[in-house]
């Protein structure tokens, strides 16, 4: 098959642009959602199998690069000019958004993007959940910036969980969610930047690192390291800059560090939103003192990261 960087999906007709020259979608000429359904459809299975073979052959025949840069030598993107302190505005935004926050996870309301993109979202969300569930999470667990507790129910079944957020309103929803599942956690208002008061076995952040300005990433990762006992696990899930991730009409920029967010009632707020690349996070984690670091992605929407203290 001929690799195509832009194409209309051969099964559903959705226009798609690949992100890299070796993306499987470009060989199969199928969108990510249809690739995810290959197990259910003979035509999709055939296209996927052939695409895998073609990509493997192309990579094997590719000319070697003039220089290979080891991950440890990669340099994270340099920080830009200092950002204004948006902490108060972000806290006001998430307090006001508490009632509609789960619409983002559930693809309802302003976040519904149609069957094709919503199917891809749900597949990625399932993949992220399976990934998190597979990690060696145990003992005493801290979840920072827990919000409405989407991930808290999974974590609470693995150890003694404490969930923290700088805003009370989302934590009220998290408490209700845990009670509905018959689970317990220590729930407190606490800023993610607060200095650790103890060392724990696991630290988890869901969609928080993208709210850390580039100029403060090293500071936060050092703080994350201080939360952990030797051998402890730091895990996180975060956003990739897919144009169908946010609400309808919400602009996505992989360059700007500040995004404008609008609520259902029309109020607007500014938030820090940084879309990190896996390699720059791996380098930053090692520089922060983590012994190992691995950051991967789902097909379209999420970053998945783990590091060992």
pLDDT band at 2 (very low <50, low <70, confident <90, very high): confident
For residue 74, is it within any domain? no
Supply the CATH number for residue 234's domain: 3.40.50.150
The string of pLDDT tens digits covering residues 185-232 is 999 999 999 999 999 999 999 999 999 999 999 999 999 999 999 999
Contact 145, 194 (CB under 8 A): no
> Residue 302 is inside which H or E element, if any?
strand 302-308
Q: 57-74 in b/e burial notation, b at 16+ Cβ within 10 A?
A: eeeeeeeeeeeeeeeeee
For residue 1, is it within any domain? no
- Tell which of 44, 61, 78 closes a domain: 61
The string of pLDDT tens digits covering residues 40-95 is 676 777 777 777 777 767 766 655 433 333 344 444 445 556 677 899 999 999 99
The string of pLDDT tens digits covering residues 239-283 is 999 999 999 988 888 778 999 999 999 999 999 999 999 999 999
**What per-residue confidence (pLDDT) applies to 35?**
75
Number of structural domains the chain divides into = 2
How many other C-beta atoms are found inside a 10 Å radius of the C-beta of residue 112? 15
**What per-residue confidence (pLDDT) applies to 9?**
76
In a shared domain, residues 252 and 103? yes
pLDDT band at 38 (very low <50, low <70, confident <90, very high): low
**Statement: residue 121 has pLDDT above 70:** yes
- CA–CA dist 83, 277 (Å, integer): 20
Task: Report, as an integer, the average pLDDT of 150-175.
Answer: 97
In a shared domain, residues 50 and 115? no
In a shared domain, residues 219 and 161? yes
In a shared domain, residues 52 and 104? no
State both tokens at 91.
């806290």
CA angle 234, 80, 143 (to 5 degrees): 20
For residue 118, is it within any domain? yes
Percent of the chain with pLDDT over 70: 90
**What per-residue confidence (pLDDT) applies to 74?**
45
**What per-residue confidence (pLDDT) applies to 78?**
52
Contacts of 297 (CB under 8 A, 6+ apart): 240, 278, 303, 304
Contact 262, 86 (CB under 8 A): no
**What per-residue confidence (pLDDT) applies to 61?**
67
**What per-residue confidence (pLDDT) applies to 260?**
92
Contacts of 160 (CB under 8 A, 6+ apart): 139, 140, 141, 186
Identify each DSSP E strand in 91-243 by its residue range: 140-144, 160-165, 186-189, 200-206, 228-239
In a shared domain, residues 20 and 169? no
pLDDT band at 139 (very low <50, low <70, confident <90, very high): very high
- CA–CA dist 23, 138 (Å, integer): 35
**Statement: residue 117 has pLDDT above 80:** yes
Mean pLDDT of the chain: 88
Contact 257, 213 (CB under 8 A): yes
Contact 157, 219 (CB under 8 A): no
In a shared domain, residues 113 and 262? yes
Q: 79-107 in b/e burial notation, b at 16+ Cβ within 10 A?
A: eeeebeebeeebbebbebbbebbbbbeeb
For residue 52, is it within any domain? yes
Contact 251, 227 (CB under 8 A): no
Is the pTM above the cut of 0.95?
Answer: no
State both tokens at 199.
């060392």
228 bridge partner residues? 200
Instruction: Give the structural domain span for 287.
Output: 87-308
């Amino acid at each position: 098959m001929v690799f195509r960087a832009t194409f209309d999906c051969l099964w559903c007709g959705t226009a798609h642009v690949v992100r890299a020259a070796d993306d499987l979608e470009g060989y199969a000429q199928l969108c990510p959602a249809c690739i995810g359904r290959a197990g259910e459809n003979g035509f999709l299975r055939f296209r996927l199998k052939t695409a895998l073979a073609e990509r493997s052959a192309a990579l094997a025949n590719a000319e070697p690069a003039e220089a290979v840069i080891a991950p440890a030598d990669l340099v994270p993107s340099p920080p830009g000019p200092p950002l204004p302190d948006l902490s108060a505005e972000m806290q006001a935004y998430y307090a006001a958004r508490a009632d509609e926050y789960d619409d983002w996870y559930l693809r309802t309301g302003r976040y519904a993007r149609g069957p094709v993109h919503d199917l891809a979202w749900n597949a990625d969300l399932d993949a992220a959940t399976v990934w998190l569930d597979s990690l060696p999470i145990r003992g005493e667990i801290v979840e920072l910036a827990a919000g409405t507790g989407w991930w808290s129910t999974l974590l609470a079944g693995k150890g003694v969980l404490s969930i923290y957020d700088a805003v009370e309103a989302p934590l009220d929803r998290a408490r209700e969610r845990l009670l509905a599942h018959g689970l317990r956690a220590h729930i407190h208002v606490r800023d993610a930047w607060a200095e650790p008061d103890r060392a724990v076995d696991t630290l988890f952040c869901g969609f928080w690192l993208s709210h850390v300005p580039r100029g403060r990433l090293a500071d936060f990762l050092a703080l994350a390291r201080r939360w952990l006992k030797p051998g402890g696990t730091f895990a996180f899930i975060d956003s990739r800059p897919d144009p169908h991730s946010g609400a309808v009409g919400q602009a996505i920029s992989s360059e700007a560090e500040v995004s404008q967010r609008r609520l259902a009632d029309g109020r607007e707020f500014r938030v820090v939103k940084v879309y990190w690349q896996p390699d720059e996070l791996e380098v930053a984690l090692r520089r922060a003192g983590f012994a190992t670091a691995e950051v991967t992605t789902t097909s379209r929407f999420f970053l998945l990261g783990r590091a060992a203290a």
